[in-house]
Amino acid sequence: VWSCSGDEEVIVKKDSDFFPIQVGAFFVYNVEETQYSVLEGQKDYVYQLKFSVTDSFPNNAGGITYVIQRSKKNSNDAGFSYLDTWSVRKEASEVIVNEGNIAFVRLAFPLDVGKEWNGNALNALGGEQNCGQGPTFPCDLYKVTGKGTPFEFNGETLTETIEVTLNNNTDLIVKQDVRTELYARNVGLVLKSSTVLEYCTVGACIGKQQIEKGYILKQTLTSYGKE
């Protein structure tokens, strides 16, 4: 958005710039993931994810819904293979991402540090926090926890960033759930980090951080553009 002041043209920056989207855009991420389970132990994976905005259509709320195809490429694959389809609704007050059939409120405007919202407001997943007056409204409180965290991208340092903490449960006895996302202005999601682990709580293993199940994931933007 441009604003005129005398003979000067000034770009008016908006919080929605942290989630730009248009048909034809693509984003490729490098992913490092470790999965834990009692039966299979620890398994490490390295792969790439590609998000392609393939279509858009008017929705019932009077806005635009964007269709995103996700594809995956393992280290030994020649190319990307279709994984699933997501969708995005970018509204005046929030960005809603449908991951399959589950809707998450990924961003809520304005993106001021300390701003909180229920990321699970449009689904039935609940969460570990409470968004009501009593204990009957479990939710997943997302929070803007930082601005200006530098992100190195192809030799360039992106400094206009917003950090969103989806959960910050650092309990090392029962369960650890620490999830953060970093968004850059005019780029979108550049970094996603998740540590979700459940520990053994029976017998002699209590308090020893013996992992029973969970995962650790780091998803880093490596390229983006328009096809």
Residues 6 or more apart whose CB falls under 8 angstroms from that of 29 comprise 48, 49, 50, 51, 192, 219, 220, 221, 222
Residues 6 or more apart whose CB falls under 8 angstroms from that of 142 comprise 105, 106, 108, 116, 117, 118, 119, 164, 165, 166
Q: Pick the residue with more confidence: 128 or 124?
A: 124
Q: Is the pLDDT assigned to residue 136 strictly greater than 90?
A: no
Place of tokens 């994810």: 49
Tell me what the mean pLDDT of segment 45-56 comes to: 98
Q: Pick the residue with more confidence: 184 or 134?
A: 184
Tell me what the mean pLDDT of segment 191-209 comes to: 89
Place of tokens 């029973």: 212
Q: Any idea which architecture 20-226 has in CATH?
A: Beta Barrel (2.40)
N residues, the chain = 227
Tell me what the mean pLDDT of segment 141-147 comes to: 96
pLDDT at 2: 45
Q: Is the pLDDT assigned to residue 214 strictly greater than 90?
A: yes
d(CA 61, CA 133): 29
pLDDT by residue (tens digit) across 65-104?
999 999 999 988 889 999 999 999 999 999 999 999 999 9
Six-digit token pair at 204? 């002699």
d(CA 90, CA 86): 13
pLDDT at 140: 86
Place of tokens 């540090």: 113
**Which range among 11-15, 176-180, 208-212 has the greatest average pLDDT?**
176-180
Query: In this structure, are residues 83 and 75 in contact, taking their beta carbons and an 8 Å threshold?
Result: no
pLDDT at 1: 44
Confidence of residue 210 (pLDDT cuts 50, 70, 90): confident
